[in-house]
A and B are shown apart, each in its own frame.
Chain A
């Protein structure tokens, strides 16, 4: 890929990592609940996938990580405010980090029940096809979520209708504490694409070029009206299920740490001469400063009124 795009994917991935590490410290300090499912190890792939799309293509994201939002430029302080119960957030205290929304940036939210988003994406694809030809809906999910029956219902009907949807599975090998080998009958989730007569490809989550290319191919197919695709990213999960999960159920933690895609990208950026070590260090410092500024901005916001509990349910007078 072009150097400027690679540098941008690196910058956003680094910012995501710094942001989420800071989030975990805020959780330890009791400023926010420890409900973030850290995406460390998966941010490079998330951001590369979104880089393959138009800026306004709707994103239904998965629960692990905030790379999707950082990719689209959602305010960091707004996401923190969502979690801290303060004003200035994106969901008015209703959804925490699970339901960050920013429709102007194509961030269309998430199902709290895992695997609940597949069916939403089908309807969004139906609306895109009729109202906004050329638009592509991308839906991210995990290997765990792919075992919901909704996966089958949604991919089947999306394929029947040739909807402009791209399904991206981030298979990190673990559904909370259960390894994929104990929960899933096939080695590759992408193999299930055969059951729907759609393309299914496996890509390495350490390789942003492979992710970008796969999503570009799928998005072009969708825009042509040829229907959905299933992409499986073999992803690396570096942290626990939630921010303070010690994950003592994982024998592979050390091995995963050695495969950190962000470290691989950092090494590639430096060895290729795209950035010097000093420039990377300076970028890291800039990310830390941006995150600290977001924390300060969040803490300056007033706490939400408890009366917000009664808002945002029904449209009044309708």
Chain B
């Protein structure tokens, strides 16, 4: 099995989608000549031409809105928004148009649109640092991918482009250079199917992307202490595989969600509420969340590190929960 980086996996997914379907177009700020500020679209304009892979003005509203219109018109646009924070810059187009154009017109249209949203805290300041996927999970009509491995980055992006539904695709910038195995012959698990990244019986951790990697490292530390932690990667937040979490919690009796989004009404809040509604008899320990406390994310590394959930905090939280 070969090993590739997360960014190469995304590039391969776009490359193959462009090759497979003439209706696929890729555009956004700097994605053409430069190949994207994070080099995800490198080489694609040279290979497929400026009619299919092209640069756009700095106009987030029309980037996404044109994606909706192009999708309605029969294309399969893949739009890069450069920073996931710009989800809110293009709020009308994402939440009202992509999410509801089909619904409010009685199902007359399909909207096969993918919006790529590079996310995560890299010290670029409050408007270029967030993981805002909770907004998407909260809103009807949108699918939401949060791939954590190169294999999922490629597989989920290809599924997203083939989907007839609008997909918000969150790529974590701090994962771009991470490497992982990819089995080109293997089928990709569909949307709404979580992955159990580590099995355990004492506590369940739900985490994705950078927080998943921290949770897996924390699990090793805890294993040395005799605590077997189960680690679940949801892969997609909409649809959301609650069943896998429920089955795990029935086994472990304890659940911690670790996320890089804001804590208040975040993804963890939703998971906790559902556990309260559906799994209270199985929870032997109080549900716990680790997330960004409800302040904006500054740019100085010390400030960022102070508020991002750390491996040590995950270890401490599991120790405290299972005491």
Q: How does the 8 Å CB contact mask read for B97-108 relative to A, with 1 for contact and 0 for none?
A: 100011111111
Most buried by A among B25, B66, B143, B164: B66
- Residues 153-173 of A contacting B (Cβ, < 8 Å): 153-154, 156-157, 160
Q: How far is the CB of B131 from chain A (nearest CB, A)?
A: 23
- A120's partner among B23, B56, B72 (CB-CB below 8 A) is B72
B286 interface contact, C-beta 8 A: no
Q: A150 touching B61 by the CB < 8 A rule? A: yes
C-alpha spacing A94/B100, complex, angstroms: 10
Which B residues touch A149, using CB under 8 A? 61
How many chain A residues have a CB neighbour from B under 8 Å? 44
Distance to closest chain A CB from B50 (angstroms): 11
A162: min CB distance to chain B, Å: 12
What is the CB-to-nearest-CB distance from B186 to chain A, in angstroms, rounded to a whole number? Answer: 21
CA distance A90 to B74 in the complex (A): 20
- Kindly state whether residue B226 has any CB partner on chain A within 8 Å: no
Q: Do B74 and A127 touch (CB < 8 A)?
A: yes
Give the residue of A90, A120, A160 whose beta carbon is less than 8 angstroms from that of B106: A90
Complex Cα spacing A95 to B61, Å: 22
Closest approach, in angstroms, between the C-beta of A5 and any C-beta of chain B?
29
Binding-face segment, A111-119, A180-188, A274-282: A111-119
A211 beta carbon closer than 8 Å to chain B: no
Cα-based distance from A89 to B109 in the complex (angstroms): 15
Q: Report whether A150 and B107 are in contact in the complex, using a CB–CB cutoff of 8 Å.
A: no
What's the Cα separation between A220 and B11 when bound, in Å? 40
Which of B70, B103, B165 is A123 in contact with, Cβ under 8 Å? B70
CA distance A98 to B103 in the complex (A): 13
Residue contact A312 to B57, C-beta cutoff 8 Å = no
Interface centre among B69, B72, B96, B103 (most CB of A within 10 A): B69
Q: How far is the CB of A77 from chain B (nearest CB, A)?
A: 15
Q: Is the CB of A122 within 8 A of B62?
A: yes
- A242 at the B interface (CB under 8 A): no
**B105 near A116 (CB under 8 angstroms)?**
no
Closest to B64 in A: A119
**Nearest CB to that of A308 among chain B residues?**
B106
On whether the beta carbons of B59 and A153 are closer than 8 Å, the reply is: yes
**Contacting pair A127 B73 (CB below 8 A):** yes
Q: Smallest distance from the beta carbon of B145 to chain A beta carbons, Å?
A: 14
Contact B65 A101 (CB under 8 A): no
Could you tell me if A131 and B102 are in contact, using CB atoms closer than 8 angstroms?
Answer: no
Q: Mark B195-236, 1 if CB is under 8 A from A, else 0.
A: 000000000000000000000000000000000000000000
Q: Which residues of B contact A98 (CB under 8 A)?
A: 104
The answer to whether B140 touches A92, judged by C-beta atoms less than 8 angstroms apart, is no
- Pairwise interchain contact B96-A116, C-beta atoms closer than 8 A: yes
Give the contacts of A81-102 with B (CB-CB under 8 A).
89-95, 98-99, 101
Residues of A within 8 A of B272 (CB): none
Question: Contact: B165 with A94, CB < 8 Å?
Answer: no
Instruction: Establish whether residues B72 and A124, one from each chain, have CB atoms under 8 Å apart when the complex forms.
Output: yes
**Please, how many angstroms separate the alpha-carbon atoms of A252 and B246 in the complex?**
65
A145 CA to B179 CA, complexed, in Å: 48
Instruction: Give the residue name and chain of the B residue nearest to A318 (CB).
Output: B164
Rounded to whole Å, the gap between the CB of B122 and the closest CB of chain A is 27
Task: Check A119–B103 contact: CB distance below 8 A.
Answer: no
Once bound together, how far apart are the Cα atoms of A66 and B75, in whole Å? 29
Q: Quick check: is B310 within 8 A (CB to CB) of the other chain?
A: no
Bits for A299-318, please: 1 = Cβ < 8 Å to B, else 0: 00000000000011111001
Is the pair B96, A112 in contact by a Cβ cutoff of 8 Å? yes
- On whether the beta carbons of B57 and A94 are closer than 8 Å, the reply is no
Q: How far is the CA of A206 from the CA of B62 in the complex (A)?
A: 33
Q: Does A126 interact with chain B (Cβ within 8 Å)?
A: yes
B163 at the interface (CB under 8 A from A): yes
CB pair B75 A315 closer than 8 Å: no
Q: B70–A126 contact, CB under 8 A? A: yes
Known: A116-B96, A127-B73. A313 touches B64 (CB 8 A): no
Question: For residue B110, which residues in chain A have a CB less than 8 angstroms away from its CB?
Answer: 315, 318
Which residue in chain B gives the minimum CB-CB distance to A317? Answer: B164
Asked if residues A127 and B72 are in contact (CB atoms below 8 Å), the reply is: yes
- With CB as the reference atom, state the residue of chain A lying closest to B62: A153
- Which residues of chain B come closer than 8 Å to A94, judged between CB atoms? 103-106
Complex Cα distance, B103 from A43, in Å, reads: 28
Give B229 Cβ to nearest chain A Cβ, in Å: 34
B73 touches A95 (CB 8 A): no
Option from B51, B70, B96, B103 in Cβ contact (under 8 Å) with A124:
B70
The answer to whether B105 touches A109 (Cβ under 8 A) is yes
Q: Is the CB of A121 within 8 A of B69?
A: yes
Contact call B163/A89, Cβ cutoff below 8 A: no
Query: Is B35 part of the binding interface, using a Cβ–Cβ cutoff of 8 Å?
Result: no
Inter-chain contacts of B25 with A (CB < 8 A) = 126, 130
Q: How far is the CB of B250 from chain A (nearest CB, A)?
A: 29
For chain A residues 169-225, which have a beta carbon within 8 Å of chain B? none
Give A194 to B9 CA distance when docked, in angstroms.
44
Interface check A258, CB cutoff 8 A = no
Q: 11 A-B contacts, Cβ less than 8 Å apart?
A: A94-B104, A94-B106, A112-B96, A120-B68, A123-B69, A123-B73, A123-B75, A124-B70, A126-B25, A130-B51, A131-B23
The 9 residue pairs across chains A and B that have the minimum distance between CB atoms: A119-B65, A123-B69, A127-B73, A91-B106, A312-B107, A123-B70, A123-B66, A92-B106, A153-B59
Residues of A in contact with B (beta carbons under 8 Å apart): 58, 89-95, 98-99, 101, 103, 108-109, 111-113, 116, 118-128, 130-131, 149-150, 153-154, 156-157, 160, 311-315, 318
Known: A99-B104, A130-B25, A131-B73. 11 other contacts (CB 8 A): A94-B103, A111-B96, A116-B96, A116-B97, A119-B66, A123-B70, A123-B71, A126-B69, A131-B75, A312-B106, A312-B107
